Amino acid sequence: MKKLFKLILILSFFSLNSVQTFAAEKVDYLKTDWSFKGLFGKFDRAALQRGYQVYTEVCASCHSMKYLSYRNLSEEGGPEFSE
């Protein structure tokens, strides 16, 4: 049983380690300027208030926050702001 465990451990180590070798292609990521700095940085207060306004006026009657999808807020036919 110990030999089998050692064999599985060694094989998994080499198989996971070889993934880096095959991924030799370098990917350049785009630099994006966000309105906040880091995870606990300062956020755009007006944008947060607008987002919360949309949630309270449109989504809160049926959904909790865990069902709110931010990617759909800007789509055509999505929630709109009250004037």
Q: Which residue range is the domain that position 49 belongs to?
A: 41-75
The answer to whether residue 27 is domain-embedded is no
Highest average pLDDT, of 14-23, 32-41, 65-74, comes from: 32-41
| 51 contacts 63 by C-beta, under 8 angstroms | no
- Rounded Cα distance between 45 and 48, Å, is 5
Average pLDDT score over the chain: 73
The answer to whether residue 69 is domain-embedded is yes
Buried-exposed string 63-74: b where 16+ CB fall within 10 A, e elsewhere? eeeeebeeeebe
Domain total in the chain: 1
The answer to whether residue 67 is domain-embedded is yes
The answer to whether residue 29 is domain-embedded is no
The answer to whether residue 18 is domain-embedded is no
pLDDT above 60 (res 82): no
Highest average pLDDT, of 40-44, 71-75, 79-83, comes from: 40-44
pLDDT digit string, tens, across residues 35-71: 666 667 777 778 888 888 888 888 788 777 676 566 6
Share above pLDDT 70 across residues of the chain, in percent, rounded to a whole number: 57
The answer to whether residue 81 is domain-embedded is no
